[in-house]
């Protein structure tokens, strides 16, 4: 899960570039680009997810994309829109793409202190309507893109659930509508 802090007013510029160039550019090298979102509570934040079948595929696909022609051609414009692109969680989970027509998604980032207690909480409060992810503890084998380390997180996308008894942050997200999708 990547959370970019952008220069004031630059979000729509980045989204347009991302949708026009980076979605298909990443897909071409085997990256699955999932949900892309505007943070409804921060006009200068863009949140998105991408998935890989495993860490080895991740490394190869990222290498192909970030040394390839799409990134080389458009990286300066993308980077010019960003204040910070290093707020990245390396997660294991199903990925998440909202259903077409969804106007708002709730994402919850939770820092549980006890894995067994979280499992019990999840069994009671999270179900098939929640796309639950957890920290991937594998080494980041593509260090050119930093990820946050040293923390245990659970992230789920879906309807509000009973508040977790651990530190959480809820993100209200508006899905970026794919090109050609009405509304």
Which residues of 41-182 form beta strands (DSSP E)?
45-51, 82-88, 91-92, 105-110, 131-135, 154-157, 168-175
Q: Which pLDDT score is estimated for 16?
A: 97
Q: What is the pLDDT along the chain (183 residues), one digit of tens a residue?
A: 999 999 999 999 999 999 999 999 999 999 999 999 999 999 999 999 999 999 999 999 999 999 999 999 999 999 999 999 999 999 999 999 999 999 999 999 999 999 999 999 999 999 999 999 999 999 999 999 999 999 999 999 999 999 999 999 999 999 998 654 444
Distance between CA 152 and CA 117 in Å, rounded?
Answer: 13
**What's the DSSP call for residue 22?**
I
* Residue whose C-alpha is closest to residue 171's, from 93, 98, 108, 95: 108
Give the pLDDT score at 177.
Answer: 84
What pLDDT score was predicted for residue 58?
98
User: Quick one: pLDDT at residue 181?
Assistant: 45
What is the 3 state secondary structure string of 104-137? CEEEEEECCCCHHHHHHHHHHHCCCCCEEEEECC
Q: Would you state the pLDDT for residue 12?
A: 97
Q: Token digits for 175?
A: 């899905």
């Amino acid at each position: 899960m990547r959370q970019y802090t952008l220069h004031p007013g630059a979000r729509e510029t980045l989204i347009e570039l991302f949708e026009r160039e980076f979605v298909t550019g990443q897909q071409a090298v085997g990256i699955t680009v999932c949900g892309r979102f505007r943070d409804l509570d921060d006009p200068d934040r863009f949140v998105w997810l991408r998935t890989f079948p495993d860490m080895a595929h991740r490394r190869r696909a990222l290498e192909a994309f970030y040394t390839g022609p799409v990134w080389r051609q458009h990286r300066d414009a993308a980077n010019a829109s960003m204040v910070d692109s290093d707020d990245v969680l390396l997660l294991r989970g199903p990925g998440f793409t909202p259903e077409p027509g969804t106007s708002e998604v709730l994402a919850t980032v939770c820092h549980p202190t006890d894995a067994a207690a979280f499992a019990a909480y999840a069994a009671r409060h999270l179900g098939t309507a929640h796309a639950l992810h957890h920290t991937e503890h594998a080494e980041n084998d593509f260090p050119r893109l930093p990820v946050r380390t040293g923390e245990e997180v659970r992230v789920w996308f879906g309807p509000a659930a009973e508040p977790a008894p651990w530190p959480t942050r809820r993100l209200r997200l508006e899905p970026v509508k794919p090109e050609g999708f009405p509304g």
